[in-house]
Amino acid sequence: MREPADFLVEIGTEELPPKALKNLMERFAEGIGAGLDKARLTHEEISAYASPRRLAVIVSALESSQADRNVGHKGPPVAVAFDEKGEPTKAALAFAGKCGVPIGALERQKTDAGEWLTHQALEKGRPSARLIPGIVQSALDALPIPRRMRWGAHDQELVRPVHWLVMLHGGAVVPGSVLGIEAGRNTCGHRFMCSGEIPLNSPDDYASTLLEKGYVVADFAARRARIVAAVTRAAEGAGGIAAGNDALYDEVTALTEWPVPLTGAFDKDFLALPKEAIIATLTSHQRYFPITDAKGALLPSFVAITNLESSQPERIRDGNERVIRARLADAKFFYDTDRQVALGARVESLQQVVYQKGLGTLHDRSMRVAALASLIAAQLGANQEIVTRAAVLAKCDLLTGMVGEFPELQGTMGAYYAAESNEPQAVSQAIGEQYLPGFAGDQLPASAPGQILAVAERLDTLAGVFVAGRKPSGNRDPFALRRAALGVVRILLEKELDLDLCELTRAAVVQQPASGEDHGAVSAAVYDFIIDRLRAYVVHSGQGISSEMFDAVRARRPASLVDFRQRLAAVAGFMQLEPAVSLAAANKRTANILRQAGYTDGAELDASLLTDDAERVLYHALQAAESDLTPLIDKRDYSESLKRLAELRAPIDSFFDDVMVMSEDPVLRNNRLALLASLRALFLDIADISRLTPPPD
């Protein structure tokens, strides 16, 4: 057997979609690793590479073949394999033939189910070279590609047409084809700065060969680091600081193989435009990096990353500056034109724009959000007039030229235009904050009206899509409902908005034009969808909240997420108490007894029928605890409530030790079931403790 050697696979394509490149690279590497593991091919580190025209993976120390292994085969029962005379039957002969051995070579194995014929065979490991093409094909088939492309005269599909394939194990080409392309050792360099194919000697020199001969920085992370450093230096040279986020750096990295920085400038008069409009022009349209001063104010300069070294960089600079001038001139035209009409004057025009089929117009949606925002403000004691006005105006900027050109500025431009129209500052700020948070980890609305509007906007979105029967399924979420629900969770918890979510979801559902009559079921589904996002938010928060704790509180369906979190904290603390183990077990036992007995709430407990000392002690302990708990629960002091309930451990244990609940006397039995029901109800005021599994000792 040969020694392990590094393995390289490179898929050469036409330019890959830049926003998807990093994810495609990572998923391709994961697919290769999973395929090798499934095929029992041992290996060490897996490294991923990608550029606009290639996806590549290098696997360190890949074995040249699978290891041999013993494989056990189970045949028919001995009683079936041999007749009364001890002669092998057709079943035994067939099994021996399948195993390729004579009857005498078969073994017998005794089990609880009887004695069986068996055979242990040595299975020779297959060479890696025979397995690799299939593994690569499977990894490509599993890539997250919404729409696949065909090319040429065959039926092969990928995100872009494939032009070359490299598969090397050590210095040897792995024979085979993937996507109709035969494997070789020749790669291609930069589209313009390199001519001809480049032979690769081994996976070890893959990155260095492309760098030195192909003008390609194949390592995505290394190329990104180059770009960050180059942009930083160029911005400093222009007297400022580069303004770029991770998404922009990733996209520019995905657009270039040989990144070269270039500094450009634009007329400072354009700085009169809203800052966000200039940034959108530079970043979204052109993938340039804005430059700011130390205080964050924009400078009339930018950094562009080109994909080649030019002998005439000034010509490239002039071309980029001409494009930016035209783009900014368009933005200025839209901005000046939009401001000629007051934002409020556009409200009626919203009636001409359909929001979603079956969900009315943008005007209908604005009125629904306004009503919800007013209800939320009433629950919080906030200014209803401000939030209602903000909600009525919130979608008006969708009719402006600026948002038509820069859709990502919706809300932002509405805030500017509201201020231009002399709306209250709180109104314009709320409009600007309505879409926050826009992504995981994004900032939350800072103002109370903004928080209220953001919650109302998301609840209307959730209710509308659920009413229309288009809620997410599997990985599909075309309306970004999971993000909307998580936004509600974050705002309510991080801003501590103590709202009745059940009331709000019902109000949001009732307002929908196609809501029908089953408001309760749909609003409950919306509530549950939000609670599912809450689960992910708190269980993975590192605060010691387990899924069982979450389910214990969820069973009570708290209307407020703030209240939900308080209960969770109390349950987590309760599980650290010494009596928690026996109380959780007792609650589970109680729930099982009541369920198996078919007990239904409503039967009255008759204290005069409590004949056993243990049940009388438990009854009086429950009466005292209920008296103590009522004020504690009213003020949501759940931690103290559970500590008080923990004091019931002794009378509960004595009850189960000394009392036969399922007495033959139906009167006593029903009375004792009623006593257990009152015990369970006392705990259920906070959480369903019976769902908890005590931690191991």
Q: What's residue 482's pLDDT? A: 93
Average pLDDT score over residue span 29-36: 97
Distance set, CA 689 to CA 53, 493, 500, 548, 646 (Å): 57, 24, 24, 9, 11
Mean pLDDT for all residues in the chain: 92
More confident residue, 272 or 439: 272
3-state SS class at 166:
strand
Whether residue 486 has pLDDT greater than 80: yes
More confident residue, 515 or 413: 413
Contact call for residues 587 and 690 (beta carbons, < 8 A): yes
Question: CA 258 to CA 109: how far, in whole Å?
Answer: 65
Whether residue 537 has pLDDT greater than 70: yes
666 pLDDT band (50/70/90 cuts)?
confident
3-state SS class at 135:
helix
Contact call for residues 168 and 202 (beta carbons, < 8 A): yes
- Structure confidence by residue, pLDDT tens digits, 298-339: 999 999 999 999 889 999 999 999 999 999 999 999 999 999
Residue ranges of domains in the chain: 5-65+127-214, 70-121, 220-338, 354-541, 575-691
| Poorest-pLDDT segment among 22-26, 118-122, 164-168, 626-630 | 118-122
Contact call for residues 277 and 329 (beta carbons, < 8 A): no
Whether residue 203 has pLDDT greater than 50: yes
Same topology, domains 354-541 and 575-691? Answer is: no
In percent, the amount of the chain with pLDDT more than 90 equals 67
Q: What's residue 602's pLDDT? A: 66
Whether residue 210 has pLDDT greater than 90: yes
Give burial (CB, 10 Å; 0-12/13-18/19+) of 123: exposed
Q: What's residue 663's pLDDT? A: 83
Q: What's residue 697's pLDDT? A: 46
247 pLDDT band (50/70/90 cuts)?
very high
120 pLDDT band (50/70/90 cuts)?
confident
The two tokens of residue 261 are 């920085």
Contact call for residues 165 and 178 (beta carbons, < 8 A): yes
Q: What CATH fold (topology level) applies to the domain 354-541?
A: Hypothetical protein af1432 (1.10.3210)
The two tokens of residue 655 are 């009850």
Distance set, CA 107 to CA 71, 79, 94, 677 (Å): 13, 14, 15, 59
| Poorest-pLDDT segment among 44-58, 241-255, 277-291, 591-605 | 591-605
Average pLDDT score over residue span 675-693: 86
- Structure confidence by residue, pLDDT tens digits, 433-459: 999 999 888 999 999 999 999 999 999
What CATH number does the domain located at 575-691 have? 1.10.730.10
Q: What's residue 541's pLDDT? A: 77
Q: What's residue 694's pLDDT? A: 57
**Strands, DSSP E only, in 124-240?**
149-150, 157-158, 162-169, 172-173, 177-178, 181-182, 186-188, 197-199
Annotate 376-408 with DSSP letters as a single string. HHHHHT--HHHHHHHHHHTTGGGGSHHHHH-GG
Average pLDDT score over residue span 31-54: 96
Q: What's residue 246's pLDDT? A: 92
- Structure confidence by residue, pLDDT tens digits, 592-609: 888 888 877 767 888 888
Strand partners, 276: none
Question: CA 15 to CA 325: how far, in whole Å?
Answer: 28
456: nearest Cα among 515, 343, 378: 378
Whether residue 111 has pLDDT greater than 90: no
Whether residue 362 has pLDDT greater than 80: yes
Q: Which of 118-122, 319-323, 641-645 has the highest mean pLDDT?
A: 319-323
Q: What's residue 179's pLDDT? A: 93
- Which residues have CB under 8 Å from 479's CB, separation 6+? 461, 465, 470, 472
Distance set, CA 141 to CA 12, 14, 174, 201, 270 (Å): 16, 18, 20, 28, 48
Distance set, CA 324 to CA 2, 122, 287, 398, 526 (Å): 59, 70, 11, 24, 45
Q: What's residue 695's pLDDT? A: 53
Q: What's residue 517's pLDDT? A: 67
Q: What's residue 2's pLDDT? A: 61
Q: What's residue 109's pLDDT? A: 85
State the DSSP H helix or E strand holding residue 37, giving kind and residue range, or none if neither: helix 18-38
Looking only at the bridges linking them, the beta strands covering 162-169 and 157-158 are unpaired
